Amino acid sequence: MKPTLRFVLGDQLTRGVSSLADIEPGDVVLMAEVDEEATYVRHHQRKIAFLFAAMRHFAAELEAEGIRVDYIRLDGKQRAASFGQALGEALKRHKVARVVVTEPGEWRVLEMMRGWEAEFGVPVELRPDDRFLCGWEEFSELAGDGPTLLMETFYRRMRERTGFLMTKDGKPEGGRWNYDAENRKALPKRIEVPPRPVFDPDETTQGVLDLVARRFGNHFGSLEDFDYPVTRHDAARYLRWFVTTALPDFGAYEDAMRQGEPLLFHSHLSALINCGLLTLRECCEAVEAAYRNGKAPLNAAEGFIRQIIGWREFIRGVYWREMPGYGERNELGASRPLPDFFWTGETEMNCLAQAIGETARNAFAHHIQRLMVIGNFCLLAGLDPKEVQDWYLVVYHDAYEWVEMPNVVGMILYADGGVFATKPYAASGNYINKMSNYCGHCRYDVKQKTGEDACPFNYLYWDFMARHAERFDGNHRMDRTLATLGRMDEDKVATMRKDAERFLDGMVPAGDY
């Protein structure tokens, strides 16, 4: 019998992935470092290095098991400009009965795969990605199918379905579903942030770092001090470190920010989960076990599990439900070009300079920096949703379209008109000041509302509200804010709007990146 060709993509690096489930001796695993995928947007250098290093190590582990791997390197003799070309060439090298592949995380790639059977004249079996807990088709059963969706409804059903943090009689652990209100503390001055394990590049990773420096050295970001896990073994070690050391404080300080501390108590696991080195089940199981053994409080364990089986699964469901066309939405008619400082980090707004600078260094910023600093600015400034999507997809090492797009279009920009956000996540400088120490190091004064020295978030906030007051009239979650705006002195509002105009017109557009 002819063997099977099993095509494993760069974010499917899990031994148990559905495409490898029934692998037989003689089958061939195809993996490819594809030019098009590395360059269709100009990904952060660190993101490319992380993925290629993880792919090469995964391939080596399969080979060590005796599995035949056909691995196409970006710098090898065989080259592949696209997934289709990689497959076409591989089918010439191997006489196979069929191709098996796990469904991808992107609409564009799925459409491509659906055409392969006709293009190559070989049966192509597209298998569901069962590393997620909720399939695309089942999403509406759990989340509903109305025009708007509530993450909390979906999350409760996911808790019941998975049994995570449930009591034996089917109740949520601790009597409540959600401890979000206990996840919003500012960081006390004296609290120490624990040092993290570092993973020095081995020869394979160093080879990739050299390749990326040569081929993609003009992309955004830096490769310096690359120390992230790229193997299953190291990823599992990083998860253990998180659960034993950072998790106990993760819950309380989940929304906090501190200058010079890019990771705080966050897990920093997203890239490892998204590419498959860790499964979400093992992460949630480890966190639940820490809670049950008295090693982590409930607000931390519930907070983490909510992010994974709640937000992460929900966001993916929204992506597939709303595609295609989701990326084109622009409910608020935002059209301002991305400013240059998104690539240089050179802005006098300290919170943004810190978050963008850390993004350039680490290909990472934690959730509140992405949402309430950078995202908040994109919303208030009315930046073009397509340009913002491209930026978020380029700069973070965990970014894939299925997760980046709903977070940008739906969560930060309200560009989908509120598919799952009941109101825009807009905030003035006061929020950033409460949750961080950035303002103490800033040239702007967070207490001032108008004038050259006023924090731009303050006047941009009210300018945004005034610009969209009509659109949000009738949204009860906006009632108080709009009532405050209505009570404001007209001259004061006019001055803030002038300040906003001056500031926004003074931004230098980034141009083509």
Residues whose CB is less than 8 angstroms from the CB of residue 446 and which lie 6 or more positions away in sequence, other chains included? 429, 430, 432, 433, 439, 455, 457, 458
| Footprint on residues 315-354 left by ligand SF4 (CB under 6 A) | 349-351
- Residue 398 interacting with ligand FAD (CB under 6 A): yes
Query: Residue 290 or 351: which CB sits closer to ligand SF4?
Result: 351
Strand 68-72 and strand 4-7: pairing?
A: unpaired
Q: How far is the CB of 242 from ligand FAD (least distance, A)?
A: 8
Please tell me the distance from the alpha carbon of residue 410 to that of residue 318, in angstroms, as a whole number.
Answer: 9
Query: Residue 143 or 374: which CB sits closer to ligand SF4?
Result: 374
Q: Which stretch in 136-144, 276-284, 437-445, 472-480 sits in contact with ligand SF4 by CB under 6 A?
A: 437-445
For tokens 């990739």, name the residue.
208
Q: How far is the CB of 396 from ligand FAD (least distance, A)?
A: 5
Amino acid at 383: L
DSSP characters over 176-200: -S--GGGS-PPPPTTPPPPPPP---
Q: How far is the CB of 176 from ligand SF4 (least distance, A)?
A: 32
| Residue 457 near which of ligand SF4, ligand FAD, none (CB within 5-8 Å, type-dependent) | ligand SF4
| Footprint on residues 438-467 left by ligand SF4 (CB under 6 A) | 438-439, 442, 444, 446, 455-457
Please tell me the distance from the alpha carbon of residue 272 to that of residue 338, in angstroms, as a whole number.
Answer: 29
504: left (phi over 0), alpha (psi -120 to 50) or beta: alpha
Q: How far is the CB of 275 from ligand FAD (least distance, A)?
A: 10
| Footprint on residues 147-176 left by ligand FAD (CB under 6 A) | none
User: 10 Å Cβ neighbour count for 272?
Assistant: 27
Residue 281 burial (10 A CB sphere; 0-12, 13-18, 19+): middle
Query: Residue 5 or 349: which CB sits closer to ligand SF4?
Result: 349
Q: How far is the CB of 454 from ligand SF4 (least distance, A)?
A: 9
User: 10 Å Cβ neighbour count for 479?
Assistant: 12
| Residue 407 near which of ligand FAD, ligand SF4, none (CB within 5-8 Å, type-dependent) | ligand FAD
| Footprint on residues 400-429 left by ligand FAD (CB under 6 A) | 403-404, 407-408, 411-412
Please tell me the distance from the alpha carbon of residue 50 to that of residue 228, in angstroms, as a whole number.
Answer: 8
Task: Tell me the CB-side half-sphere exposure of residue 488, using CA atoms within 13 A.
Answer: 20
Size of the site for ligand FAD (CB under 6 A): 28
Residues at the interface with ligand SF4 (CB under 6 A): 349-351, 429, 432-433, 438-439, 442, 444, 446, 455-457
Residues at the interface with ligand FAD (CB under 6 A): 266-270, 273-274, 304, 307-308, 311-312, 315, 366-367, 370-371, 375, 392, 396, 398-399, 403-404, 407-408, 411-412
